[in-house]
Chain A
Amino acid sequence: MISVKLVALVTLGYLGLLFLVAYYADRKHEQGKSLISNPTIYSLSLAVYCTSWTFYGSVGRAATIGLDFLTIYLGPTLIAFAWWFLLRRMVRISKEQNITTIADFVSSRYGKSAYMGGLVTIFSVVGIMPYIALQLKAVSQTFDLLTLPPPQRSEGLGHYLPQLPQTLDTAFIIALTLALFGVLFGARNLDASERHEGMVAAIALESIIKLVAFLAVGLFVTYGLFDGFTDIFGQFLHDFPERIHLLLIDTEQIPYITWFSLTFISMMAFMFLPRQFHIMVIENSDESHIRQAMWRFPLYAFAINLFVLPVALGGLLLNGGDTSQADYFVLSLPMQTGHYWLGMFAFVGGLSAAAGMVMISSVALATMVLNQLITPLILKFRIVVDNYYLILLNLKRLAIFVVVFLGYLFYRAIGESYALVNMGLISFIAATQFAPGLIGGLYWRRATRKGAATGLILGFLVWFYTLIIPSFVRSGWLHSAILEEGLFGIRLLRPLELFGLSGFDIWSHSLFWTLFFNIGAFLTLSLLTAPDEREREQAEKFVGVYTGSLLPKERQRISRAPSILEFVDLMSKFIGEKQAHAAIADYLGDREATIDQHGSLSEYELPNLKRFTERTLAGSVGAAAASIIVENYLSTRGSRMEKVFDIFGSVTLSRTSSREQLSVLYEAARVVASGAPLQTIFDNILELLIQQFKFDLVVIRLLDQDSMTLTVRSQKGMSSEHFGHSARKLTMETTIGEVFLTNQAIVVNDTDELKDKPQTSQIVHREGILSFAHAPITMEGEPIGVLSAFSKSVRGIFTEEFVELFTSLASQVGVAWRNNQQTRDLIAAREQQKEMEIAKTIQLSLLPQATPRIEGISLAGLCVPAREVGGDYYDYLERADGNLDLVVADVSGHNVGSALIMAETRTFIRARASKLDAPDQVLDALNRFFYDDLTQAELFITLVYIRFQPETGNLVYASAGHNPPLVYRHASGTIDRLDAEGLILGVRPEVTFDCCRDRLEPGDVLLMFTDGLTEAENRAGEFFGEERLVQMLIDNRHLQPQELIETLLQQLRLFTGSQNFRDDISLVVMKRES
C-alpha cells in the first residue's frame, strides 16, 4: 500500500513531465526543428496501440482464457507486411488531400460527403466508448489497488474524500484529468495541418516507459520470484495440470475460428482505429519512416508480450490459482511481495498506456466531431459568427471532454461486468467496420458512397445488436430474455445466435455477421449505383494516387470570381490571419508569373486558388466542411463554379488535346495551301471553325489601307449587322480595335464581366453574345486584321488551349493573305519576264541572221547579252558598190530602253548608211539624229564603223568613243589598233569624227569588240584587259573567225570563272584570206 498523496503526486508529476516534453517538442517545431521526425519516434508512437489492455489485460487473458491474447499483436505483425503499399498509400493520399481524421479520409474518398463523414464520426465515437471505458477502468482500479486496503476498495476515492458525492468515483477524477491533458496536448490551438508534434513526442516517451515498466515487472517475476521460463512452466504444469488449456489453442474457449477472428480483427483495428489512423497517417512526417516502423513496431509488440505468460502463470502460482485479480497481476505481484516501488513503477507504466490512448483517441475523435459534425451543421444552418476560430477551438476542447466522459458513462454502465480485453474487442470490431469502405475505396474505382454508407450503417447496426446489447444484458440494463428468446421473441434474432448461427464465440459470430452485411451491401450497392461527378473525381485521386488520374482534368472557371484578398479573408476566419497569410504567400510564391497586371490571377488560375483555399481549410476543418465553406462563400457572392465547355468535343483535354489541335490546324493549313482564291480560303477557314466548335459567328476583318478601318472580308454563322458587316475603326474603344493595336488576343469568357468597353458591351448584349474571342491576324508579326469568334450559347467556352489554337488559326489566315500577295507579285514578275523574252527574241532577230559570203574574206560575229535584252549591236552591210560595212555599237544600259535605242540605231544605219559616203559622215548623221533622244533617255552610244573594200583590202573607219578594233598583221605578227578620234554619240550635238584609213593584207585578222569583253572581271576583280585579248588574238590567229570567237569566249569564261557575263559582249572577226 502506498499513500494516496504520493500516488496522486507521482501521477500528476508524471503527466506534468509528459506535458513539458510535449511543450518542448512544440517549441522546437515552431523553430523549424522536429524532434519527432525520425523512424524511431514514429515506431514508438505507433505503440500507442498497446494500451492498458496490453499492460494489464493481456496477463488477465492469459491467466484465464489462454494464448489468444497474442493474436492482438500477431495481427499487426502480419499486417505490417502490407504497410509498404497499404499504409504508404493512405499516408500519401492524406498528405495530398490535407486529411485530418479517418472520418475525413472516408468522407473525402466518397466525394467529400459531409454525410459520410458524419456517419463515420458517430460510429467512431460510439465504437470507441468501450475502449476509453477500459482505460478508465484500468487506471482507476489500479489506483485503488495501489492506495487502498482491500476492504475499502469499493469505496474508491470516496474513502479519502467523503465530502465528494457518491457518484464521483476514482474513474471520474481520472477521466477529468485525462480530458484536461487531452485539451492541453491536442487543443491548445487549431492547427492548419492537424499535426501535434508535442503530443507525438509525449506518446513516444510513454511507449518507452510502459515497455520498460512491463519488462521490469516481467523480469522481476520471471527471474526474481521464479527461476526463469522453464521453472514457471514446469511448476505450472505440475501444480495445475488441469489448466493445460492455457498453453494450447483449439480449446473450448479458443477454437481455431476464434484464434483466426481475433487475428483478423486486430489487423483491421490496428489500421482503422481512429487513434491508430491519427498517429500512423496524420502524424506521419515522412513516408519513408514506414519502412523502419514495419519491423520496429512488431519488435516492440514482441518485447512487451514476452513476459505476459510468465507473469500470468506466476500470478496463478502465487495466488493458488485464484483468477479474480488476474487483470492486475502486473501490479499486484510486486505489491504482494512488498516491492512497492516496483508496483508504483508498474502503475506509472499502466497509466502511460492508458493516458496515451485516451489523449490520442479523444483528440482524434474531437477533431472528427468538430470537423464532420459541428462545422457542417454550423455551415448548414448558416450560423454567422465573427470569429469562427475561437468558437471552433472551444468546441473542440468541449468535444474532448465529451468523448472522454462518454467512455466514463460506458464504464459506469457495463464496466464492472466485463474483463478489460472483452471491452477492447468490442471497439476492435467497431473499427473493423471501416475496413471494407476504406480498403475498397483505396483500390476500387467503382466503390460508391451509397455502397460504403449502407455497408457501414448495416455493419454498425449488427455490431450494436450482437455486441452492445449482450453487454447491456450482462450488466443488468436489459432483461436477459432478449438473449435467450430473441428480439420480440423471435428466436432467429437472438443477438448471440443471429439467424440461427450457433456454435460460435461472441467475437467470431459478430465479426461474421457485421462483415457479411457490411461487405455485402458495400459491394452490391457499389455495383448498382453510379458515383456522382465529385465522387468520381475523388475516387480517381485515391485510387490513382501513384499513377496519376485517368480522368480528364476537370476544367472550371469561376464567374464573378473573388479576388486573392477575399480568399485570404475567408481563410483567416477559420485558421487565423497569420496562418492564412503564410499559406497564401506560399501559394503565390510559385505563381508570380501568372499574376496579371491588375494583381489578380488569370481566369485559369483562379479555380486552382479556390482548390488551394479548400485544401488549406480542409487541414483545419476537414474536407467536407471546407468544401461547404468555399461553396457557400462563392454562392453568397453570386460566384459560381462553371464547367468549362469542352470545346474539343468528347475527346479529353489534357492528354490528347494537342492531337485535336493539330488536326484542326492541319485542316486549316490544308485549306491555306489549297491554292484556292483568297476569299474561298477565308470562307473555308471560318467554315472549319464553325463546324468544329459550334460558334454562332466567326468573322475575318482585314485592315483597309485607304480608309484605315478593319473591314469585314468574310463571315460565317448568324447574320448580324454589327458583327458581321460593320467595319471597325482603329481605336482602343472597341475590343477589336484593341486587339489590332496591341497585337494581342483578347478573350471574354463572360460578357457580363465586360466593363471597360461600353461600346463593345452594348453591342454584345444587344446581340445576346455570352462569350467571344479575338485574335490578331498577323503577317511577319505585324497585325493586318482580326479573327473573331462569338458564342451565344456558352459562357467560358474559351480555354487556354483553345486560345492558343485560335491564335494559330489567325496566323494561318495571315499566311493565306501573304501567300496571296506573293502570288500576285509572282504573276506580275512572270508577265514582265515574258515581255522581256519577247524583246530579246526581237532584238536577236535584229542582229545579222547570216554572214555575207564574200570572196577573199571570212567573217563571223556574235552578241552575248548579259540580260534578256541588251544594248550591244553589230551588223554587216553589203553595199551596192561591193564594199562591206561593219558596225559594232554599245548603247549604255541593258534594259528595254537600251534595246529600243539599239533597234533605232540599226534602223537608221540600215536606212541611211548606204546613202552616205564615208563612215565619219554616218557617225555625224547618227549623232545629229540621236542627240535629243539620247539626252532625254540619259543614254549614250559608242560605235565603230568600218567600210571595207574586199578586192583591195582597204579600210575606212570612224569611231565614236568605241574601243579601237584590233588588227593582226600577218606579215609582222604584230597587232595594230584602229584608233580614230571621235566623241561618244549623244554627248554633244556637234561632233567632228576622224575618218582614218588602213589596209588588211592577206592573212590579216580584224577584231571588233565591245568593252564587255575587255572589262570582264574575274573573282579577284581584275579586268580581262586588252593585253590578254591581244595575246589571244596572236595565239589563235590561224583559226577561222567563228572558231576564234568561240575560243575567245571560252577563254573569257575560264578567266571570269562564270558562265554568264556582267555586261553585254559583242564580237566581229574578219579575216582576209591569203
Chain B
Amino acid sequence: MSMKPTEPHRLREAWILCFLLGCIMLNYPFIHIFNKADTLLGIPVLVLYLLVGWPVSILIIWFFSLQLGRSDDDTGRRDRGAP
C-alpha cells in the first residue's frame, strides 16, 4: 500500500476527527447498540465490542503515527532548527 505523505494541517484535522469519532462511538447513543444482554461467541456483546473496538482505535493511532513519521520528519527537523 502506497501512502502519500499528508500535509501536517490535514493530519491534525484527521486527529481531531478521530478523537470526536472515538468519543461518539464510546457514548450514548452509539454504545446503546451494543448494550445488550446477549452473548456472541460466549462473550457478552458489550464486552466484545469494547475489547475489539479498543485495539482497533489503537491500530488507527498507530497508523496515523506512521503517517506523522513520514510527513512530520521535515517539519520536525525545521522545528528543531528554529532558534
Contacts and interface: CB of A to CB of B under 8 A. Distances in A.
A294 B47 contact: no
Contacts of A292: 65
Contact of B54 (A84, A85, A302, A309): A302
A288 B55 contact: no
B12 A77 contact: no
Interface string A40-83: 00000000000000000000000000010010001001111110
Contacts of B19: 78-79, 81-82
B44 A247 contact: yes
Nearest to A78: B22
Given A81-B15, A249-B46, A291 B41 contact: no
A230 B15 contact: no
Contacts of B51: 306
A291 B37 contact: no
Nearest to A259: B27
A853 B37 CA distance: 143
Nearest to B14: A81
A79 B31 CA distance: 18
Interface in B1-38: 11-12, 15-16, 18-19, 22-23, 26-28, 31-32, 35-37
A234 interface: yes
Contacts of B32: 250, 256
A249 B65 contact: no
A295 B54 CA distance: 11
A248 B65 contact: no
A299 B65 CA distance: 14
Interface residues of B, number: 38
B45 to A, nearest CB: 9
Contacts of A80: 61
B39 A248 contact: no
Nearest to A247: B44
Contact of B46 (A67, A74, A299): A67
Contacts of B65: 291-292, 294-295
Nearest to A228: B42
Contacts of B54: 74, 77, 298, 302
A237 interface: yes
B68 A84 contact: yes
Interface in A241-266: 244, 247-250, 256, 259-260, 263
A80 B22 CA distance: 11
Contacts of A287: 76, 79
Contacts of B68: 84, 291
B42 A295 contact: no
Contacts of A260: 27-28
Contacts of A67: 46-47, 50
A424 B32 CA distance: 27
Interface in A74-123: 74, 77-82, 84-85
A443 interface: no
Contacts of B76: 287-288
B22 A230 contact: no
A389 interface: no
A233 interface: yes
Contacts of A299: 58
Nearest to B31: A249
Nearest to A236: B44
A229 interface: yes
Contact of A84 (B15, B26, B35, B79): B15
B26 A263 contact: yes
A77 B28 contact: no
B27 A77 contact: no
Nearest to B69: A291
Interface of A: 67, 70, 74, 77-82, 84-85, 229-230, 233-234, 237, 244, 247-250, 256, 259-260, 263, 287-288, 291-292, 294-295, 298-299, 302, 306, 309, 546
Interface of B: 11-12, 15-16, 18-19, 22-23, 26-28, 31-32, 35-37, 39, 41-44, 46-47, 50-51, 54-55, 57-59, 61-62, 65, 68-69, 72, 76, 79
30 contacts: A67-B47, A74-B26, A74-B50, A74-B54, A77-B54, A78-B57, A81-B15, A82-B16, A85-B12, A230-B42, A237-B39, A247-B37, A247-B46, A248-B36, A248-B46, A249-B35, A249-B46, A250-B28, A250-B35, A256-B27, A260-B27, A260-B28, A263-B27, A288-B76, A294-B61, A295-B58, A295-B61, A298-B58, A299-B58, A302-B58
Given A78-B22, A256-B27, A288-B76, 5 more contacts: A81-B16, A230-B41, A295-B59, A295-B61, A298-B54
